Amino acid sequence: LWSDTEVASANSLFRVDAISLLDYSDENPEEPHGPQPPITETTLFPNGGFETWDEFSYEYPTNYGFNANMLEALSGGQTMNVQKTTNAQHGNYALKLINQSTSSDFDFGFIMNVNGNDGDPSTWLGGFPIQGRPTGISGYYQYSESTRDSGMIIVGFNKNGQVLHTYMLPLKGQMTSFTPFDFTFDPPLAEDPDSMVLGFSSTSHMEGGAWPGCELLIDNLSIKGLTTQPVGMNGDFEAWQTETRVSPNGWSYNQWQEGSFTRTNEATEGQWAVCLTTTLEENDQEEGLIAVGSSITNGYWDDEFDKQRGGVAFSNTKDTLIFQYKYLPANTDDRGMVVLDFMRDGESIWNLTMGLKATPTYQKAQLPINLYQYTWMPRPDSLVVTFRSSHWENSDTVFAGSRLWIDDIHFTSEFYLPPPYNPNAPNPPVPNGSFEAWKTTNYVTPVNYPYTTDKQMQPWLGLDPFVE
């Protein structure tokens, strides 16, 4: 070794011959952490062009667009906790809300005429226009549980963009036939509102704990103290509308805010692409609104085990993810994001992140994958890919409205054709690996090996040859 400078190392002799290349094995017990060659196999990215979509239709009472069915559809489920029933107290239909497990986070039925904003009444603004000063609400209901749960009426009143008061009115007791209810608002309103929020829930445990199987039926509503009922209230639930939601097959998205995710024909390949939009949400930590980036992923989060799941089958250690995107940030400091989470046996082993800069037209982006460089890393078995319309740290309201279009996602390995395997073909020869060819100058050196100790030392030290 170059570090062996002791006198005892003098006269050491090293003989070498017949150098050749051998097939690589990653199971060498003498070198378990040695360099690993890159592995590339043909790998497809399912529905990377967003051409395959699942369509799902659901019903809800007209003018109550924020409801459990909508959230279930956005989550990719088909369990409808808001139903139209012919068991009516008046007219042809009544509203039926059910407590049952769904694909969304809501295991109960509810409807509202405004966006619920994570359950914070201080943000429930707008609703039905109203004239006069309401004094109460009346109607008819049925409920299937007497002690462990109850239904709920939510009535809120606003004026000039400010909340005047919100009333939470329970519907208790087991009622097997339509039973009248009649509530007087307490405390009474101190002034005339200009709009009314109205909603119903099949549970009073909206933060969790809805009793399974409970059913609430509502019909024939009336707001007391008014000359005319609010326009659009649909208090007899005779008017229903059907909504059709589309979701890209193999993908899920995290935002149920209206407009955060859309299918678009602004595509670079095929017919469709996706567009993600950063929206405003109520701040859970403090009063006010925050911007929240919309995201789409081919994986999902397992709440039970607190782990990432899903993704595309992927075992390459060398590859490149390629996609087309365009990005219109609401603020020049914003960036779109793409995150790759490499998985092995359900555990994350590595991740890569790339920011996406503003571009008004589609640009090709490439994210190299070179896992083979990390000798300690096991080979992945799946890959979760996530796109996001804003950087997760950009929560100021100025970032709301950033839009990210994504299309034509694929791996370079999609077009990889490995050479045909020939078990009889020898490995590439090492030139003059047997040292049979030599040349002579004022010293001898093997062909193709010009750099020797003789060349460097013999001419100016006058020593005997070191290489023979």
Q: Is the pLDDT of residue 38 over 70?
A: yes
The predicted pLDDT at position 34 comes to 55
How far is residue 282's CA from residue 259's CA, in Å, rounded to a whole number? 16
Per-residue pLDDT, averaged over 111-138, amounts to 89
Residue pair 72/436 in contact by the 8 Å Cβ criterion = no
* pLDDT tens profile 6-25: 777 777 777 776 666 655 44
Residue 371 has pLDDT above 70, yes or no: yes
Domains of the chain with bracketed CATH: 56-242 (2.60.120.890), 249-415 (2.60.120.890)
Top mean pLDDT of 16-25, 282-291, 448-457 is at 282-291
β-strands 438-440, 444-446: how paired?
Answer: antiparallel
- What's the whole-number mean pLDDT along residues 297-320? 87
Q: How far apart are CA 450 and CA 311, in angstroms?
A: 52
Return mean pLDDT, the chain.
Answer: 86
Confidence of residue 186 (pLDDT cuts 50, 70, 90): very high
Higher local confidence (pLDDT), 80 or 72: 80
Among the ranges given (208-212, 236-240, 310-314, 444-448), the one the predictor scored with the smallest mean pLDDT = 444-448
The pLDDT of residue 244: 87
Q: Return the HEC string of 218-279.
A: EEEEEEECCCCCCCCCCCCCCCEEEEEEEEECCCEECCCCCCCEEEECCCCCCCCEEEEECE
Of the chain, the percentage scoring pLDDT greater than 70 comes to 85
